[in-house]
């Protein structure tokens, strides 16, 4: 974390050239060998696959060879010409932004709340229970969702009808798709996300609290003035990383929730890519869309990082 | 000096020849397959020495049938029959699509024979030299297959040959007219209402309305009856679309032709009438309110709760799902009739002649031979034997000889039943459905049905009392490069638009009367006209040219 | 006087806080628990009632048939064993790789810092995808049908390295400078100072990594032709997606599916979830405790 403080580094190191520095740091290089190797082998070596975004890729073909047909930016143009192009982007972004607005803070909120539970048994029970939904396969979550919100006798509609209302088609209504998606996302993910904040909170120096108590601060004050600011760097880091995947909403849950009539909000980039790329086998086109995705994510992260650096003086790099 | 040079030259030429011949992609069949059989070897053996072939497939999407393995009686039988040992690689059905795409694309660690995703994938892989072109072997090595389909009058070869004349993968095929999706009626409710199975669309609508009127047909005091449902929107179209003159069935692309002109069924008046009808049913509370999110397992749940009056699905489910009903569970009678099979509905939209679409089409994930196979000719013969050798077919359709059937005096097949009266079960022996695409025969699809006389009778009625129409457009395999490009560009998108509007129109999210034109315009924007153009091109070249 | 007033004021709003906290906690627990109880109830109910949707909260009827069926399948036990292997080996390997990557990055004077950072950043967004990764794993490294195929491709991530790095950066710098002046090598510093002080972030990482490895199944789909290597997740997934929308197959048409198998597959979905989650459920509380303990020790040391 870069925090702008003045450090007085011992001045011995002035005057070393590049190679001398390399030699001086040889131990650090050794330490970082394994992660470095990993990056090169498993992340950079396969990166050559990105080139199929610019080809008319056929299965089984080598990625670069005499037979490869280069089509330049044709796939990108095709994507931008698609009448639904903006729809996919907008749907993806809205799900993402909504989840940052609602699900992201939920994790922090839960961590703070659970931290204030004074009865140890309840606290550990609560934290354990809250992470359970994370383990349930998304298929079952959507099935349960459908069961509860079914227009054909689901629990919620039973209550509505018994109170004299008319059954609502939650799963088939466009206006309910996002709330259901985000709501179930909060249910499944808040507890799990809270783990990292709980750890951050637990790492706060207790003497700060002691001092505050002596000054007469109540727990509310302590929460606002100590706990929150101390975990702010953690929050900022997690937020920036989260923004870096803003355009990458996974297809599985959305695909399971789609009912056709909700497609104007429920058809996102990844479900489209799944249909085109995996089901229909058009890997170049899908890869091009994926590349576009990545570029947008990169721009978003760099922007988020700059903003964070200005506002909170802490940034990712 | 000259001698030395000459010798060197000869050596070089020989070496070059050697290298050229060492090319693993074979140069074609070496005449008729020579199995190197020695006197004393059974005739059916494909090779004197026991050869091993590696086969990749998946477990199948239902856990009902056991995954392929050499422990199953069927495969044991086949090994003895052909003297070919199979090493199975049975991958998970989960993500099999990704596995195949990835492995074909990477071209590494390929088995000798593998099940792939689509013919299209096979073509692409074949063009790149990953899969073997079986066309040169077709006449000589696939004699059983050729004989089988010739006897049926079906042009199987056209379904597997690419535009360039290659055969990269074999599909399965169903004998026409079998295993069809149809309407099925709750037998008890029919009886309560004192009605017969409808034969016209109007009778059908009347029946549904009568069901709705009657109220508490399942006697549980709750208003939870669903008069009409299916395993999803697609299934809904499949079981009743023909009453509206539609030809679309299952995953066929919805194109048809009239008087030489190809049109898209998605944007046709037939479709409009159909969707309006469904919307009416939906508004009257007859059609399942949840139809947009239905699937097979939800359907099973509803049937098990005895809530369903009419549903559409594969006819065999009248038996399977029927057993889930409370009455079946109470009576513990697996052979009883709980759902009655329907017939094709006649209406003013189909000239008062109800029809089913004759399914002369490829089914199942195709099987291909990869270029890593060292024994291509043997692999071809093995596949041919598996698919269409008469003896193998008998075992596949009827079970193990001696246990499940025996040959009668005149050579006909006599089915043997278990002594304790339990239903016949040959699928646990690996017979019936096999995890490589295969030909679905009448016998296979009607296997065990003679224990259900009511089913046999109704199935026969389906087959004989309704017309079986052939599609008015050529099948997808006949597309050539330019047309395939167009399909690639627009098909997925156009289908997507249709699926969305279909759901909206039927479930009242959009008013079909006022927004049909908007829908048509969107289809146009997505490329529906270009698609129709492509189909027209293929049509003109094939059916039209005759 | 003011102290007293403060104390009374303090305790009142403290109790208000308690009330709010407990209410929220109760709400969270109920909302979270309901679907979970539903899952368990579905798994132990009478199969017919389960498939009819008669189960609302508590089990209807009682039947451990689906458990018997699930446990009778060898695949589950093999899957368990494999998953345990992958989780233990994977978590340890990943933890090591992550910390080894995080420490050098935290040293401001490290000459390779910018290089490393950029490397991490760029790959976060751009990747070749499934096919090139497959080629590398199988062709280049020959890991087909190897257990390490489940671990190596996801050994560490920029996400985790950044989290660990930030944590190390928050440790007091003077400590390290002192050690340096005393002549300690970087290796020494890493093993004797950084690691012991990083218990909290390592606990968090351990939890995230362990859960990740426990649930992971897709690499096995691609890289394991030998089914004896399949993790539990594969089995769970297979049971769960049967008959659901993601499952497409037209071999439903031929042949008949028995009612029994239909019923059991409807219920099995829930049973396998319970089976897969139970061990984690039992282990997590211990980890949580250890994490808190480790944190207290760490902070006392200063």
Higher-pLDDT residue of B503 and A139 is B503
SS (H, E, C) chain C: CHHHHHHHHHHHHHHHHHHHHHHHHHHHHHHHHHHHHHHHHHHHCCHHHHHCCCCCCCCCCCCCHHHHHHHHCHHHHHHHHHHHHHHHHHHHHHHHHHHHHHHHHHCCCCCCHHHHHHHHHHHHHCCCCHHHHHHHHHHHCCCCCCHHHHCHHHCCCHHHHHHHHHHHHCCCHHHHHHHHHCCCCHHHHHHHHHHHHCHHHHHHHHHHHHHHHHHCCHHHHHHCCCHHHCCHHHHHHHHHHCCCCCCCCHHHCCCCCCHHHHHHHHHHHHHHHHHHHHHHHHHHHHHHHHHHHHHHHHHHHC
Q: What pLDDT is recorded for position C257?
A: 58
Provide φ and ψ at B284, rounded to 5°.
Answer: -80, 0
Last residue of a domain, one of A57, A72, A87: A72
Q: How many CB atoms lie within 10 A of CB C226?
A: 12
- Structure-token pair, residue C20: 């709010």
The answer to whether residue C7 scores a pLDDT higher than 80 is: no
B62 CB neighbours in chain C (<8 A) are 242-243, 249, 251-252, 257, 261, 265
- Based on the fold, state whether residues B416 and B272 are members of the same structural domain: no
A6 in any annotated domain: no
**CA separation for the pair B236, B250 (Å, rounded):** 10
Are residues C255 and B324, on separate chains, in Cβ contact within 8 Å? no
- Based on the fold, state whether residues B318 and B186 are members of the same structural domain: yes
- Judged by a CB distance cut-off of 8 A, whether residue A35 touches chain C is yes
- Judged by a CB distance cut-off of 8 A, whether residue B97 touches chain A is yes
Task: Give chain A's domain count.
Answer: 2
- Judged by a CB distance cut-off of 8 A, whether residue B430 touches chain C is no
**CA separation for the pair C133, A45 (Å, rounded):** 8
Higher-pLDDT residue of C209 and C178 is C209
- Name the CATH topology of C66-301: MetI-like fold (1.10.3720)
Are residues B130 and A60, on separate chains, in Cβ contact within 8 Å? yes
CA distance B377 to chain A (A): 23
Instruction: Read off the pLDDT band of C256 (50, 70, 90).
Output: low
- Based on the fold, state whether residues A82 and A55 are members of the same structural domain: no
**CA separation for the pair B78, B404 (Å, rounded):** 16
- Based on the fold, state whether residues A176 and A295 are members of the same structural domain: yes
User: Would you say B317 and B304 are in contact if contact means Cβ atoms under 8 Å apart?
Assistant: no
CA distance C72 to chain A (A): 22
Higher-pLDDT residue of B227 and B421 is B227
For B278-295, give the DSSP string: HHHHHHTT-B-TTGGG--
Provide φ and ψ at B74, rounded to 5°.
Answer: -60, -45
Beta bridge partners of B226: B308
Provide φ and ψ at A172, rounded to 5°.
Answer: -105, 0
Instruction: Read off the pLDDT band of A237 (50, 70, 90).
Output: confident
Q: How many CB atoms lie within 10 A of CB A311?
A: 10
Q: What pLDDT is recorded for position B27?
A: 42
- Based on the fold, state whether residues A189 and A60 are members of the same structural domain: no
The beta strand positions in chain A, using DSSP E, are none
- Based on the fold, state whether residues B391 and B279 are members of the same structural domain: no
Q: Which residue has the tokens 């576009």?
A: A292
Q: Which of B16-25, B436-445, B450-459 has the highest mean pLDDT?
A: B450-459
Mean pLDDT to the nearest integer, B6-11? 48
- Based on the fold, state whether residues A140 and A21 are members of the same structural domain: no
- Based on the fold, state whether residues A119 and A185 are members of the same structural domain: yes
**CA separation for the pair C132, B299 (Å, rounded):** 41
CATH number, domain containing residue B431: 3.40.190.10
**CA separation for the pair B307, A303 (Å, rounded):** 56
CA distance C258 to chain A (A): 23
Strands B51-58 and B405-407: unpaired
- Based on the fold, state whether residues B192 and B164 are members of the same structural domain: no
- Based on the fold, state whether residues B354 and B369 are members of the same structural domain: no
Instruction: Read off the pLDDT band of C5 (50, 70, 90).
Output: very low
- Based on the fold, state whether residues A177 and A89 are members of the same structural domain: yes
- Judged by a CB distance cut-off of 8 A, whether residue B95 touches chain A is no
Task: Give chain B's domain count.
Answer: 2
- Structure-token pair, residue B357: 């679409």
The answer to whether residue C227 scores a pLDDT higher than 90 is: no
Cβ under 8 Å to C: A residues 65-104: none
Q: Is B111 helix (H, G, I), strand (E, B) or coil?
A: coil
Are residues C241 and B94, on separate chains, in Cβ contact within 8 Å? yes
- Based on the fold, state whether residues A160 and A201 are members of the same structural domain: yes
Beta bridge partners of B52: B85
- Based on the fold, state whether residues A119 and A67 are members of the same structural domain: no
Are residues B125 and A283, on separate chains, in Cβ contact within 8 Å? no
- For A27-68, the pLDDT digits (tens) are 888 888 999 999 998 988 888 888 888 888 766 666 666 667
> Rounded mean pLDDT of chain B?
84
Q: What percent of chain B has pLDDT over 70?
A: 90
Q: What pLDDT is recorded for position C252?
A: 43
Q: Which of B266-275, B329-338, C66-75, C173-182 has the highest mean pLDDT?
A: B266-275
Question: Mutation test of the interface with chain B: which of A48, A51, A60, choosing the one with the most B Cβ atoms within 10 A?
Answer: A60
Q: What pLDDT is recorded for position C294?
A: 57
Mean pLDDT to the nearest integer, B258-278? 94
Last residue of a domain, one of B319, B334, B358: B358
- Based on the fold, state whether residues B347 and B223 are members of the same structural domain: yes
Are residues C125 and A21, on separate chains, in Cβ contact within 8 Å? no
Q: What pLDDT is recorded for position C96?
A: 93
- Based on the fold, state whether residues A84 and A63 are members of the same structural domain: no
CATH number, domain containing residue A277: 1.10.3720.10
User: Helices B390-398 and B73-82: crossing angle, nearest 10°?
Assistant: 170
Q: What pLDDT is recorded for position A6?
A: 54
Cβ under 8 Å to B: A residues 8-47: none
Mean pLDDT to the nearest integer, B220-248? 89
> Angle at the Cα of B341 (from B314 to B399), degrees rounded to 5?
55
The answer to whether residue C160 scores a pLDDT higher than 60 is: yes
- Based on the fold, state whether residues B69 and B158 are members of the same structural domain: yes
Q: Give the neighbours of chain A: at least 3 Cβ pairs within 8 Å.
A: B, C
ipTM attached to this prediction: 0.83
Last residue of a domain, one of A24, A57, A72: A72
The answer to whether residue A91 scores a pLDDT higher than 90 is: yes
Q: Which of B468-472, C181-185, C192-196, C233-237 has the highest mean pLDDT?
A: B468-472
**Class of residue B521 by CB neighbours under 10 A (exposed 0-12, middle 13-18, buried 19+):** exposed
- Based on the fold, state whether residues B256 and B120 are members of the same structural domain: no
Mean pLDDT to the nearest integer, C185-202? 82
- For A145-181, the pLDDT digits (tens) are 888 898 887 888 988 988 988 888 999 999 999 999 9
Q: Is B314 helix (H, G, I), strand (E, B) or coil?
A: strand
Length of chain C in residues, anyone?
Answer: 302
Instruction: Read off the pLDDT band of A13 (50, 70, 90).
Output: low
Q: What pLDDT is recorded for position B158?
A: 83
- Which residue in B293, B492, B526 is closest to A83 by CB distance? B526
- Structure-token pair, residue B53: 């072939």
Q: What pLDDT is recorded for position C296?
A: 52
The answer to whether residue A9 scores a pLDDT higher than 60 is: no
- Structure-token pair, residue B526: 């997505």
Instruction: Read off the pLDDT band of C175 (50, 70, 90).
Output: confident
- For C80-139, the pLDDT digits (tens) are 899 999 999 999 999 999 999 999 888 888 888 888 988 888 888 887 777 788 888 888
B528: nearest Cα among B546, B501, B510: B501
Last residue of a domain, one of A53, A72, A91: A72
C21 CB neighbours in chain A (<8 A) are 113, 116-117
> Angle at the Cα of A158 (from A152 to A162), degrees rounded to 5?
135
B335 in any annotated domain: yes
Domain range enclosing A234: 78-312
Q: What pLDDT is recorded for position A67?
A: 67
Residues 6+ apart with CB under 8 A from B39: none
- Based on the fold, state whether residues A85 and A37 are members of the same structural domain: no
Q: What pLDDT is recorded for position A4?
A: 52
B297 CB neighbours in chain C (<8 A) are 242-244, 265-266
CA distance A299 to chain B (A): 29
- Based on the fold, state whether residues B441 and B326 are members of the same structural domain: no
A278 CB neighbours in chain B (<8 A) are 97-98, 101
- Based on the fold, state whether residues A82 and A185 are members of the same structural domain: yes
Establish how many alpha carbons lie within 13 A of residue A130's alpha carbon, considering only the half-sphere containing its beta carbon: 29
- Based on the fold, state whether residues A287 and A142 are members of the same structural domain: yes
Q: Which of A13-17, C206-210, C240-244 has the highest mean pLDDT?
A: C206-210
The answer to whether residue A196 scores a pLDDT higher than 60 is: yes
- Based on the fold, state whether residues B314 and B380 are members of the same structural domain: no
User: Would you say B492 and A276 are in contact if contact means Cβ atoms under 8 Å apart?
Assistant: yes
Are residues A260 and B127, on separate chains, in Cβ contact within 8 Å? no
A172 CB neighbours in chain B (<8 A) are 290, 292-293, 503, 507, 509
C155 CB neighbours in chain A (<8 A) are 34-35, 38, 42
B537 in any annotated domain: no
User: Would you kindly state where each structural domain of chain C is located, as residue ranges?
Assistant: 2-51, 66-301
Q: What pLDDT is recorded for position A53?
A: 86
Q: What pLDDT is recorded for position C73?
A: 79
- Judged by a CB distance cut-off of 8 A, whether residue B351 touches chain A is no
Provide φ and ψ at A268, rounded to 5°.
Answer: -115, 175
B to C CB pairs, distance under 8 Å: 152
- Based on the fold, state whether residues B97 and B110 are members of the same structural domain: yes
Domain range enclosing B199: 181-358
């Amino acid at each position: 974390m870069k925090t702008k403080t003045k450090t007085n580094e011992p001045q011995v190191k002035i005057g070393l050239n590049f190679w001398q520095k390399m030699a001086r740091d040889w131990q650090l290089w050794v330490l970082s060998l394994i992660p470095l190797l990993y990056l090169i082998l498993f992340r950079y070596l396969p990166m050559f696959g990105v080139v199929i975004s610019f080809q008319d890729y056929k299965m089984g073909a080598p990625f670069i060879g005499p037979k490869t047909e280069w089509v330049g930016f044709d796939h990108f143009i095709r994507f931008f010409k698609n009448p639904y192009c903006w729809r996919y982007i907008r749907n993806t972004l809205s799900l993402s932004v909504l989840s940052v607005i609602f699900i992201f803070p939920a994790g922090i909120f839960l961590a703070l709340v659970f931290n204030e539970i004074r009865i140890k048994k309840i606290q550990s029970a609560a934290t354990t229970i809250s992470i359970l939904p994370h383990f349930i396969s998304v298929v079952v979550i959507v099935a349960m969702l459908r069961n509860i919100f079914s227009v054909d006798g689901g629990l919620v509609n039973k209550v509505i009808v018994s109170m004299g209302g008319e059954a609502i088609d939650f799963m088939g209504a466009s206006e309910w798709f996002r709330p259901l998606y985000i709501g179930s996302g909060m249910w499944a993910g808040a507890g799990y996300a809270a783990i990292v904040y709980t750890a951050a909170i637990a790492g706060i120096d207790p003497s700060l609290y002691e001092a505050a108590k002596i000054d007469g601060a109540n727990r509310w004050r302590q929460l606002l003035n100590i706990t929150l600011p101390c975990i702010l760097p953690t929050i900022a880091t997690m937020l920036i990383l989260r923004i870096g995947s803003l355009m990458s909403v996974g297809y599985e849950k959305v695909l399971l929730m789609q009912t056709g009539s909700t497609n104007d909000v429920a058809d996102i980039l990844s479900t489209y890519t799944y249909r085109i790329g995996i089901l229909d086998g058009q890997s170049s086109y899908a890869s091009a869309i994926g590349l576009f995705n990545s570029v947008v994510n990169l721009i978003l992260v760099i922007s988020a990082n700059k903003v964070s650096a200005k506002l909170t003086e802490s940034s990712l790099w | 000096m000259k001698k030395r040079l000459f010798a060197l030259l000869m050596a070089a030429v020989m070496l070059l020849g050697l290298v050229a011949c060492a090319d693993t992609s074979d140069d074609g069949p070496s005449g008729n397959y020579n199995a190197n059989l020695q006197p004393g070897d059974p005739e059916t053996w494909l090779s004197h020495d026991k050869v091993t072939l590696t086969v990749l497939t998946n477990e199948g999407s239902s856990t009902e049938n056991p995954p392929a393995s050499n422990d199953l009686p069927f495969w044991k039988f086949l090994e003895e029959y052909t003297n070919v040992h199979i090493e199975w690689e049975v991958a998970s059905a989960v993500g099999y699509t990704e596995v195949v795409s990835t492995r074909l694309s990477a071209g590494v660690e390929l088995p000798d024979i593998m099940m792939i995703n689509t013919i299209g994938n096979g073509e692409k892989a074949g063009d790149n030299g990953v899969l073997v072109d079986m066309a040169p072997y077709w006449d000589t090595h696939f004699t059983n297959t050729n004989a089988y389909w010739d006897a049926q009058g079906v042009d199987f070869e056209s379904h597997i040959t690419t535009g360039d004349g290659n055969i990269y993968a074999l599909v399965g095929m169903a004998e026409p007219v079998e295993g069809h999706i149809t309407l099925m009626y709750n037998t008890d409710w029919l009886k309560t209402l004192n009605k017969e199975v409808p034969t016209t669309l109007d009778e059908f609508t009347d029946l549904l309305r009568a069901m709705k009127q009657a109220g508490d047909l399942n006697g549980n005091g709750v208003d939870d009856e669903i008069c009409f449902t299916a395993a999803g929107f697609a299934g809904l179209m499949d079981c009743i679309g023909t009453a509206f003159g539609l030809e679309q069935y299952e995953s066929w692309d919805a194109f048809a032709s009239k008087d030489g002109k190809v049109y898209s069924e998605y944007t046709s008046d037939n479709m409009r009438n159909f969707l309006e009808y469904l919307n009416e049913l939906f508004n009257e509370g007859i059609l399942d309110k949840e139809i947009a999110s239905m699937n097979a397992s939800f359907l099973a749940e509803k049937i098990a709760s005895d809530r369903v009056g009419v549903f559409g699905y594969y006819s065999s489910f009248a038996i399977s799902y029927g057993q889930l009903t409370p009455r079946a569970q109470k009576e513990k009678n697996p052979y009883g009739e709980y759902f009655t099979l329907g017939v094709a509905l006649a209406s003013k939209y189909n000239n008062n002649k109800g029809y089913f679409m004759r399914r002369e089409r490829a089914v199942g994930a195709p099987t291909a031979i990869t270029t890593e196979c060292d024994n291509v000719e043997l692999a071809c013969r093995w596949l041919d034997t598996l698919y269409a050798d008469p003896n193998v077919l008998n075992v596949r359709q009827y079970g193990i000889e001696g246990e499940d059937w025996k040959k009668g005096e005149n050579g006909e097949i006599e089915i043997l039943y278990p002594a304790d009266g339990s239903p016949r079960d040959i699928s646990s022996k690996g017979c019936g459905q096999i995890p490589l695409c295969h030909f679905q025969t009448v016998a296979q699809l009607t296997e065990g049905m003679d224990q259900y006389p009511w089913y046999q009778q109704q199935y026969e009625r389906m087959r004989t009392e309704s017309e079986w129409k052939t599609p008015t457009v050529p099948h997808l395999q006949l597309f050539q490069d330019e047309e395939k490009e167009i399909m690639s560009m627009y098909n997925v998108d156009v289908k997507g638009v249709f699926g969305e509007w279909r759901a909206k129109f039927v479930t009242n999210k959009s008013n079909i009367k006022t927004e049909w034109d908007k829908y048509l315009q969107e289809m146009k924007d997505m490329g529906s006209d270009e698609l129709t153009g492509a189909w027209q091109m293929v049509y003109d070249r094939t059916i039209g040219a005759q | 006087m003011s102290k007293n007033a403060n104390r009374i004021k303090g305790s009142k709003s403290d109790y208000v806080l308690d009330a709010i906290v407990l209410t929220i906690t109760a709400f969270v627990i109920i909302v979270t628990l309901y679907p979970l109880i539903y899952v368990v109830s579905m798994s132990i109910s009478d199969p017919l009632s389960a498939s009819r949707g008669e189960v609302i909260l508590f089990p209807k009827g009682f039947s451990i048939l689906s458990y018997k069926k699930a446990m009778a399948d060898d695949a589950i036990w093999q899957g368990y064993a494999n998953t345990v292997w992958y989780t233990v080996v994977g978590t340890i390997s990943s933890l090591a790789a992550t910390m080894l990557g995080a420490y050098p990055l935290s040293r401001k004077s490290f000459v390779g810092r910018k290089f490393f950072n950029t490397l991490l950043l760029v790959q976060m967004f751009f990747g070749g995808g499934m096919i090139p990764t497959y080629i590398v794993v199988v062709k280049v490294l020959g890991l087909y049908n190897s257990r390490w195929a489940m671990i190596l491709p996801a050994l560490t991530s920029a996400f985790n390295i950044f989290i660990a790095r930030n944590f190390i950066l928050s440790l007091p710098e003077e400590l390290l400078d002192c050690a340096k002046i005393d002549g300690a090598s970087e290796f020494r510093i890493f093993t004797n100072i950084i690691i012991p002080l990083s218990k909290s972030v390592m606990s968090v990482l351990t939890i995230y990594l362990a859960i990740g490895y426990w649930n992971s199944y897709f690499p096995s789909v691609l890289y394991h032709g030998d089914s004896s290597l399949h993790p539990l997740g594969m089995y769970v997934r297979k049971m769960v997606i049967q008959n659901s929308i993601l499952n497409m197959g037209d071999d439903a048409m031929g042949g008949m599916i028995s009612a029994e198998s239909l019923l059991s597959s409807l219920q099995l979905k829930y049973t396998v979830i319970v089976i897969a989650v139970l061990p984690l459920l039992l282990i997590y509380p211990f980890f949580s405790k250890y994490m808190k303990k480790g944190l207290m020790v760490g902070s006392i040391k200063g």
